[in-house]
Structure 1
Amino acid sequence: MRLCHIDDVPDGDSRGFDPHATGRDTLFVVRRGATLHAYANACPHHGTPMAWRRHAYLDATGERIVCFAHGAQFEIDTGRCTLGPCLGEALTPVPLALHDNGEVHLAQETTS
C-alpha cells in the first residue's frame, strides 16, 4: 500500500498517516536525509496518540520523538524510550519500503 512520496515528509521532520482510513493518524514517519523511521502512533505507556497536534511528533530540536500526553522521549532511530514513564520500553516499528521513484509503501503489504 502506497503511503506517500519521500518528499511529502520534509527532511528533519515528521508526518502522521492514516493508511487504512480509520479517521485518525495510526502511524507516523520521521525523515532524516534518505532514511525513514516509522512507528505506530501509540505511546507504550498507555497507548495514547503521540502528537499534540497533527504531524507534531518531535521535540523543538527535532532530535527526539516526544509523547505530548506524558512527556516521554524516544530515540528516532530505535524508538526506545529514554526519558519518562515508559523508560526502557519502545515504540512499535512499522516496516516501510522506499522505492527507487521515491514512493514510500507499507512493507508488509504487497503492491502491484
Structure 2
Amino acid sequence: MMWSIDRTRGAVVSSSLNPAPVEGDGAHASAVAIARIDAIPPGGLVEVEAEVEGEPESLILHRDGSDAVRAWRNICPHAGRRLDWAPGQFLRAKDGSLVCAVHGASFELEAGRCIAGPCRGDRLRAVAVQCVDGEVRLGTPDAG
C-alpha cells in the first residue's frame, strides 16, 4: 500500500478507494488500512477517502493526545454537506472543536457531539476504526 500526504489538502491519501485487505491473522485479517497514524499530527484532523459499507466516503480522522484515532463521515448532520471549507481543510474554534464551514455548527472531538449551532445535540456519524501496527484500519478488533 502506498501512502502520501497531499500538502495542498493536508490529507492522507491512500493509493485507491478500495485497498487490499491488511495481511495478518485473526481479528485483523480483513481490516482495511486507510492511513498511517504518524501521518496525523497529534490533535490534528485529516480527510481520507475510503470505502465504507460498499460506498466511497470522505472521512475525518482525529488523533488525540493519547494517540487514539477517531473517525467520522465528513458530513454535517444539519444540512448533509461536507464539514471542510476546502478538501481536507477544516476550521477549528479556539477551544479546539471542529466547525462546519457552511453553517458554523461546532463539534467536540471526543464523541463528535454538536455543542453549538443549528444541529446542537446531534452527532457526527462515527466510523469504527482501530490502530494496529502504526496504521489506522477500518473496523473493530473483533470485526475479522
Q: TM-score, normalised by structure 2?
A: 0.68
Residue in 2 aligned with 1:8?
39
The residue type paired with residue 33 of structure 2 is R
Residue in 1 aligned with 2:138?
106
Note if contact 2:85-2:91 (Cα within 8 Å) is conserved in structure 1: no
The residue type paired with residue 39 of structure 1 is W
Query: Percent of aligned positions with the same letter in both sequences?
Result: 34
Give structure 2 stretches of 5+ with no counterpart: 1-31
Residue in 2 aligned with 1:68?
101
The residue type paired with residue 7 of structure 1 is D
Aligned residues: 108
Bigger CA radius of gyration:
2
Q: TM-score, normalised by structure 1?
A: 0.85
Query: Any idea what the Cα deviations from partners look like across 1:50-73, whole Å, max 9, x if unmatched?
Result: 000232234154710111111000
Give structure 1 stretches of 5+ with no counterpart: none
Query: Any idea what the Cα deviations from partners look like across 1:76-96, whole Å, max 9, x if unmatched?
Result: 011110100001111001110
Q: What SS does the aligned partner of 1:19 have?
A: strand
